[in-house]
Structure 1
Amino acid sequence: MWAPFAREWGRQRPVVAIDTIWDAGRSVQERPISRASEAAEWLSETLDGLGYGRVHLLGYSYGGWLALEYATRHTDRLISTIAIEPPGAIKGMPVRAWWRMARMLAGGEREVEPYLAWVRGGRLPEGDALALLKSAQIDFVKRGSPLPRRISADDWSRITGDLLIVLGERSRLVPAAASTRVTECAPDAEIRVIPRAGHAVPVEEPESIITVVADFLSRAEPLLGDTAT
């Protein structure tokens, strides 16, 4: 999913896409991660292993929640933070979203594809990409990762770097009122709502995401430096 984005953003700065250990990818999770603090510590260890100091941190969906959680704990390490459709972080997820998720987890493989289609506005990849997406829901979710928590007003105040929140106008996981709460808790944050897009905004409106993020990065750090996105 990130290939076209990395290609475009990489024209301006180094881009590193990290496989989270609790998702389908090349990393191997050896034990459950039950707390947000543990997930943030894992990310710090990963950045240390890659040899990066201060970075731009971007995450989508669960990764967007983790990016915000990381920013509340390690804001001194971030040049900027970008969270795209972070479920549960700004406002609680809608009840219907929790119901659909619980139905998917209880129903097994037969419920995975309908759930993904519901979340992604009916836009599903084909072939191996769809198989990998389904595997991420069926196999890897069982390894254990913390549920996204709502970030408190005090935690928002700890994020001192440049901050961009990108939401889909028709998201089924992040309520429309989320932008209002961001304005209240982080008045200096930049908020962009992509018209007609749902939770899968990078899939539905890739050009918009490429442009919005590139413009934000150019303002957060005009000159190319020793950083990574």
Structure 2
Amino acid sequence: MSDAVGRFRGADARARFMRAFDRAMETWPARVDHQVETSYGTTVVSASRTRRATIPALLLPGGGSTIASWGPFVSAWESERQIFAVDTIWDAGRSVQTKPLPTGAEVASWLEQTLDGLGIEKVHLVGFSYGGWAALNQLVRFPSRLQSVTALDPPGSLAPIPLGTWARMLAMLLGDEERYRSYLAWVRGGKLPESTTLDLLIASRREFVQAGTPRPQRIAPSEWAAFDSRVAVLLGGKSRFVPRRAEATLRRRAPESEVKRFPNASHALLVDEAEAITQYVNTFMRDRDALQTLLLIAITFAKPTPCHRCSRILGPGCSSRGRRASRSGALRRPCSPP
């Protein structure tokens, strides 16, 4: 197993990247930054300043990109909940990787440690592209902490990445900067990112060596049981990474989960459908919170069924547990109290 990890090409390279990063982060509202120590290195997380009583959300960026792309969404969502966004430890950014993450198990362990370090007990997880795969990977490995999971065009999770896309990626990796620009336009439906984002993406490619992280892994048959009503998957109708059959697979394997395809969107959903994504994800998180509140109320005020002989609530203390109740709520036959 390789012990290579992601790293900048030097101190000057990191400084050049950080200048581009700081310019791109101007889209963010006021924020507070956290450092979390994990067994895989130091993870840096940015958060909106105001803590709220609602369950927070944590955002995962796409591969090769940064949390800067989430700025407008943080501004839109922070009025309802505190928003966190993590510098993924394997990408160019403020986090520092010290140990490889060769499989999805390590990726999930890293994210679980990050959430522990932030003191977050329950969270809405939202991931784009590679971050979408990481969010679904977290769902199948550490589901208990997750209030909801929203994955935006997650490559490799629901169906294999098309061979043509692999070929384009290989040519991009072996090519020069002009080839990289051509690849970005191809992925985004013929449009290059706006200048600040493009400068940051190019700085990431130029100044950083990515290593020590796995390719997205397909959901195994045994893992689909984790996909329930707290999961939403949003797909680009013209995505180069997620083929159309992925939607059919999701609907067949996870009928309780939400799936929505944006027919005119490329893989760059955060740009092509920014307003719709903002509204959809906000509503989905709000609805999941409301559902949990209703369930808690129902549990709190549910009318218990007593035994008419011993007056115990049906449970381990009553030997009549499991017998059919009458319409009045009492057991048809008396128990034999101890």
How does the TM-score come out when normalised to structure 2? Answer: 0.63
Q: In the TM superposition, what are the counterparts of 1:105-144 in structure 2 within 5 Å?
A: 105-140=173-208, 142-144=210-212
Q: Residue by residue, what CA displacement relative to the aligned partner does 1:141-170 show, whole Å, maximum 9, x if unpaired?
A: 522310011111211213456000000111
**C-alpha distance in 2 between matches for 1:223 and 1:182:** 23
Structure 1 or 2, whichever has the larger Rg, is: 2
Would you say the 8 A contact 2:123–2:148 is kept in 1? yes
Structure 1: gaps of 5 or more residues: none
Task: Name the counterpart of 2:280.
Answer: 212
Would you say the 8 A contact 1:31–1:143 is kept in 2? no
The match for 2:92 among 24, 44, 48 is 24
* Superposed displacement of residue 200, structure 1: 0.3
Structure 2: gaps of 5 or more residues: 1-68, 294-338
The match for 1:171 among 219, 223, 239 is 239
**C-alpha distance in 1 between matches for 2:70 and 2:142:** 24
The match for 2:257 among 175, 189, 194 is 189
The structure whose residues are more often helix, as a share, is 1
- Letter of the 1:78 partner, please give it: L
Q: Which structure's relative contact order is higher, taking Cα pairs within 8 Å and 6+ residues apart?
A: 1
- Letter of the 2:265 partner, please give it: A
Secondary structure of 1:221's counterpart equals helix
Task: Name the counterpart of 1:13.
Answer: 81
Would you say the 8 A contact 2:228–2:256 is kept in 1? no
Q: In the TM superposition, what are the counterparts of 1:63-82 in structure 2 within 5 Å?
A: 63-82=131-150
How many residues align? The count is 225
* Superposed displacement of residue 120, structure 1: 1.5
The match for 2:124 among 30, 53, 56 is 56
**C-alpha distance in 1 between matches for 2:174 and 2:147:** 41
CA change 1:140–1:220 in 2 (3 A) is: farther
How does the TM-score come out when normalised to structure 1? Answer: 0.92
CA change 1:115–1:141 in 2 (3 A) is: farther
